Each structure stands twice: as C-alpha cells, then as structure tokens.
Structure 1
Amino acid sequence: MKDIPENITKQIRAFNRFYTGIIGALNSSVLNSPFSLAEARVLYEIKHTENATASEINLRLGLDPGYLSRIIRRFEHDELLLKERSPADGRAYNLKLTSRGEHVLSVLEKVSDQKVAEMLESMSGVDVNTLLQSMDALTSIFSGEPRGASVRPGKPGELGFVAAQHMDFYMKEYSLDASFEYYLFEGMTNFLKNRDSGTAGFWVADHNGTVVGSIAIDREDEKTAKLRWFLVHPEFQGQGIGRRLMDQAIEFCRLNLYHRIFLWTFSELRSARHLYELYGFSPTEEVRHEIWGREISEERWDFLLVDPEEDL
C-alpha cells in the first residue's frame, strides 16, 4: 500500500464532509416527499434498467435485500410497479413501473432538477464548465473509465484558444520558444481566408464546453490540402479522439476533391507519426535546421487520396 501523506488524506476527508453537505441539500427535495432517498433510487433504477429484477437492483444500489423487498412490496401495494415472471429465469420477476409509478418518478425528478438549477443559478458559465469537468474527472478516476469528448466544427474565436494550447504544449514538452507563436498566427491568418471560401476546415474535440483537441485542413493549391494544428490534450490521449479528428479532416478533403494531403511534423512526435502511418501517410522530405529556438528535424508526410496516375 502506498504511503499517502497525512495532509492529502485530511484534504480528501474535508472535501467528503463538504460534499456530503451539498448532496444532503440536493436530496432534501426528495426527502420532503413521501419517499425516502432509497425508494426514489429504486424507482429510477427500475425505470432505466431493461428487464430489471430485484437482484439486479440490489446489486446496483447495494441495499439490504430485506429492505429492498419491503420497498418492492410497498410499491406493488401502491400500484407503482408490476411484477412479471422473467422468461429467461422462471425463479425471477421482472419489475416494471406502472403509469402511476412513472408519473411519481417524473415529479420527483422535476423537483430534483429544479433544486440543481437553483444551485447553479448564481454560478458563471466558466464555473459551471469547471464543475462539470471536475465531476467528470472524479467519475473517470473512480470508475476507471476514460473521459469522452465530441468532435465538432470549430467556432469563431477558438483558433486563438488552439494557438494557446499549442504554445503551452510545445514549449513545455519540446522547449520551443516564443517565435513558435508567430508561426502559428501567421498560418492561421492565411487559413481564415481559405475557410471563408469553403476550401479549408477546422474541428475541435469538445469536452463539456472545453477544447481538448484540434485539427485543421488548409488549401495549398487546387489539388493539395495541408493538415495543420493536430493536437490532443495529454489527459485525453489514448481514447480514440485523434482518430476521430483525423477521420473528419480526411473526409473533408475527399468531399472537396483534393488529390493529396501533406503535413509537417518533427521526428520527436512519435505518437502522431505512428497515427499518420496508420492512415497511410508516409515521409517524403526531411529538413534539419535551427527553428523556434532549437535544432529540429522537420519531416514532410504525404497521403494520396487518388491513384497516382489520376493525379497527373
């Protein structure tokens, strides 16, 4: 077992006490109803679990079997649920809410939603996004499941955020200097002109309103596209986000009838280079020079979208 510093355990316990108070306030809306918190949770699980059985509900909620049995009997008596013998197991019964039970649950959920809305009302949009990200991080850590992100077109103003992310990442990880910022903004200025004409595109990976990845396609000439600003935040790597961004960019090139795509990278970006290989890119040129405050081996990689004979 790891030797955890005492100050860390005390901080976690303090947070637990604080969070318990918050949850208690949110659950008060349920406790003011004729139903206990456990009963409300049983109603919710029956509604949202396909072919729910008592044993499955018990496994999800960790209730005492006798207590759960008493809840189910009460719900039957109050005509909130029906029991039907399971076709898969004759010894078990599937639980299903009646229309009355669904109405009761709907009322409980609306009251709880209102309580949450009241709590968030005084928060700024930034604080709400921070809260959602923190909740998602806790869920990911304790469940062991990766956090997700959706890929969408970039919004006006987000290119500047992408530039800041690139500066932060490349200065920390690869010791590039401030001249890299000029390179980024120079390319973005030209890109915006092409985007307005529909020959360039820009996409981001969005996690609860925060950009955690990006990619862009810029027009080089009538037949050639340039892939730019491909980055996935380190905390979100290994979740398939990079592939979804690449899929979006390549599909855009096909729809715009580009014949080839190229990009510039450098030899130290091993994970990106591996992904480029998977998608059919191959190195075609290498230049070693002093740039962005250090010596770098830049590499050009190309990918043909059409047969070489058709490209003539």
Structure 2
Amino acid sequence: MLDRGNLATIEAMRAFNRFYTDRIGILDRAYLKADYTLAEARVVYELGARGQASAKELVRDLHIDPAYLSRIIKAFRSAELIEQTRDPEDGRSQIISLTPKGVAEYESLGELSRNQLAQILEPLGPSERETLVAGMAAITRLLDEEKRNSAPPILRPHRPGDLGWIIQSQSEFYVREFGWNDKFEALVSEVSARFLSGFNPARDYCWIAERHGVRIGSALVMDGGNDIAKLRLLYVDEAARGLGLGRLLVDQCIDFARHAGYRQISLWTNDILHAARHIYVTAGFKLVSEERHTLFGPELNGQTWTLDF
C-alpha cells in the first residue's frame, strides 16, 4: 500500500506526464506534423545524432521492442532512409546509418522540433525560461541514477542566500518529520542572524555542501565565548544521506575549531536524532548533560555534547 506522501507525488507526476505529452503532441499519429510516429522519429534522431548504431544498441537505449524496431528498420530501408552494413565485431549484427535522404529527414525533424519549442517558449519571459530550464535539469538529475550519484559533494563557504536556505530547509524537514512547531524555525533564524551579524572569519565558519550545484548540507561553527566553539545547525538533505556527508561536515567543524585556537567544541542536540548522535560519538564527543524540554512542541530530551582539544 502506497503511503499518502508517495501517492501524492505519483499523482503529480502522472498529471505532469499527461500535460506534457499532450502539449508536445507525443501521442499524435504524425509526430511534429511529419509522417512519423514518435518511435520512428526517435530512431531517426538517434541515428542522425550518433552517425551509426546497431539494432541492439537502439533496442537498449530507446527501450523499444525488438520486433517493433525490426518493422521500423524494414520500412526505413524501403523508403531509402537507412543503409545497413555488417558489424565487423559481430557477424550476426548489422550497423545502421542514415542515407543522404535520411540525413535530410533528420535535419527536417530537428527544425520542426525547434520551431515547435520556440512557439511554446514565446510567451515566457527570460526569468521564466531560466526557471523552466532549471526545472528540467532538476528532473534529469533526480531521475537519472547515474547522473545523480556521479558527482561527489563539494564543500564551500557561505554566500548570500545560504543562511536563508538553512532556515527554510531545516524548518521544513523537522516540522514534516518530527512535528516540531514554529519555535524551531525561530531558533534556527535567531542562530543564523547571530552568525551573520557577528561573523568573524577567524573564529566563525559556515560550510555549505553542494552536489550538481544544489545545496545538500550545512554546518556552522560559532564563537561561544570562553574559548569554546559551538557546532550549530548540522544538516544533511534526505537525498544525500548515506554518503558520509554528515561526518565530513563534523570533521570540518572540529578541524576548524582546533586550528582557530578553541579549547573545546560543544553542541546541543536531541536524542531522537540518532544518526547525528552516532556521528558525534564516533567523532569523540562526550555527553555532559541532558534535560527534558518542550521547546518545539513535543516532549524531547535535549543533550549537550563536548569535545576537548
């Protein structure tokens, strides 16, 4: 049984699929008003873009039924759009490429596609087009497993807007996952404001973790006075968990605090945050105090952890 959150996401994707396929005419018998189905047009495009391909490669990359592809190839051969030669590496396979007539069809389909998209984009302003491109890039990045996992996270210092993202991302996550109230958002906002207003690069630092240009994590070190550094607002986005990013951020905080001359680094957390607590324990932090509280609505057990240098 699908949970409500997954079902809502699935229905939203189905609605988008219906809208987009209708918008660009994917289900029309004559795709782009040309005499090709979508599958036929995709075969022409792949052959034109690659120069040549085997039937096996087209089946694999286009996720097309082999028997259906065989019928397309037969029709294209009869129309003198393609030519076939024996694959020198596999005598049982044929290499398919476009004839000059096929290349002309490839170029014509490309022009029809560009004109169609130009009409769709025509009512949009520059900022709307940027939003559209960013959205398409996000869909590709999130749904293509190879691209999603190919790039390692990078860490960088904070820039304008990053603390606003920290407030929004952490507030939304903890309210959604733990039912905390807006007092938690107020606390994150207060810590972020104090960090920015009193920022001293010799004693304070903010790490922003990114992958594919998208923020996926953060951590702050702030001067807590009396030569004690405070580790604040550690966060790893759900999509980036399991990569060791939380430990990496904590290690960066410890190294910075040590080299900045602090005698100790401390943090405050809640015992229900098991993954974070595991990181603190393995990094050498010691639990020094704990207290029940209802600062964020539900009753919680707050804990203070410290690491001496």
The question of a shared fold, defined as TM-score above 0.5 by the shorter chain, is answered with: yes
After superposing the two structures, state which structure 1 stretch, 156-165 or 289-298, moved more.
Answer: 289-298
- The answer as to whether partners of 2:217 and 2:237 remain within 8 angstroms in 1 is no
- The answer as to whether partners of 2:207 and 2:218 remain within 8 angstroms in 1 is yes
Q: How big is the shift at 1:268? A: 0.3
Match of residue 163 from structure 1: 167
- The answer as to whether partners of 1:194 and 1:218 remain within 8 angstroms in 2 is no
Say whether 1:273 aligns with 2:277.
yes
Structure-to-structure mapping, 1:1-312, within 5 angstroms: 18-24=19-25, 31-32=32-33, 37-46=38-47, 52-59=53-60, 60-62=63-65, 64-70=68-74, 73=77, 77=80, 83=85, 85-87=87-89, 89-95=90-96, 105=106, 108-109=109-110, 111-113=112-114, 115-122=116-123, 124=128, 128=132, 132=136, 135=139, 140=143, 153=156, 154-193=158-197, 197=201, 199-205=204-210, 213-220=216-223, 226-234=230-238, 236=239, 238=241, 240=243, 243-244=244-245, 247=248, 250=251, 257=259, 262-276=266-280, 280-290=283-293, 292-293=295-296, 294-300=299-305, 302=307
- The answer as to whether partners of 2:219 and 2:253 remain within 8 angstroms in 1 is no
CA distance in 2, matches of 1:245, 1:106: 49
Structure 2 unaligned blocks of 5 or more: 3-7
Report the RMSD for the aligned CA atoms in angstroms. Answer: 5.2
- The answer as to whether partners of 1:133 and 1:208 remain within 8 angstroms in 2 is no
Are residues 252 and 275 of structure 1, via their aligned partners in 2, closer, same or farther at CA, if it must alter by over 3 Å?
closer
- The answer as to whether partners of 2:207 and 2:219 remain within 8 angstroms in 1 is yes
CA distance in 1, matches of 2:235, 2:64: 40
- The answer as to whether partners of 1:29 and 1:112 remain within 8 angstroms in 2 is no
SS at match of 1:119: helix
Q: How big is the shift at 1:183? A: 2.5
Q: How big is the shift at 1:156? A: 1.6
1:46-93 deviation per Cα after TM superposition (whole angstroms, max 9, x unaligned): 467798421231342226143233256369x55x67745242x33223
CA distance in 2, matches of 1:33, 1:296: 66
SS at match of 1:156: coil
Q: How big is the shift at 1:41? A: 1.1
1:110-166 deviation per Cα after TM superposition (whole angstroms, max 9, x unaligned): 6535533542454546973895499569x84xx999967976755422422321332
Q: How big is the shift at 1:24? A: 0.3
SS at match of 2:168: helix
CA distance in 1, matches of 2:294, 2:182: 11
1:232-266 deviation per Cα after TM superposition (whole angstroms, max 9, x unaligned): 444x36463xx346536745875894588654322
CA distance in 2, matches of 1:10, 1:177: 28
1:195-216 deviation per Cα after TM superposition (whole angstroms, max 9, x unaligned): 573751231557896x5x4312
- The answer as to whether partners of 1:262 and 1:301 remain within 8 angstroms in 2 is yes
Structure 1 unaligned blocks of 5 or more: 3-7, 305-310
Match of residue 308 from structure 1: none
CA distance in 1, matches of 2:206, 2:11: 49
Are residues 15 and 185 of structure 1, via their aligned partners in 2, closer, same or farther at CA, if it must alter by over 3 Å?
closer
- The answer as to whether partners of 2:290 and 2:304 remain within 8 angstroms in 1 is yes
CA distance in 2, matches of 1:100, 1:144: 37
- The answer as to whether partners of 2:268 and 2:304 remain within 8 angstroms in 1 is yes
The amino acid that maps onto 1:91 is: R
Are residues 288 and 122 of structure 1, via their aligned partners in 2, closer, same or farther at CA, if it must alter by over 3 Å?
farther
Are residues 220 and 126 of structure 1, via their aligned partners in 2, closer, same or farther at CA, if it must alter by over 3 Å?
same
Are residues 73 and 232 of structure 1, via their aligned partners in 2, closer, same or farther at CA, if it must alter by over 3 Å?
same
**How high is the sequence identity, in percent, across the aligned residues?**
23
Q: How big is the shift at 1:27? A: 8.1
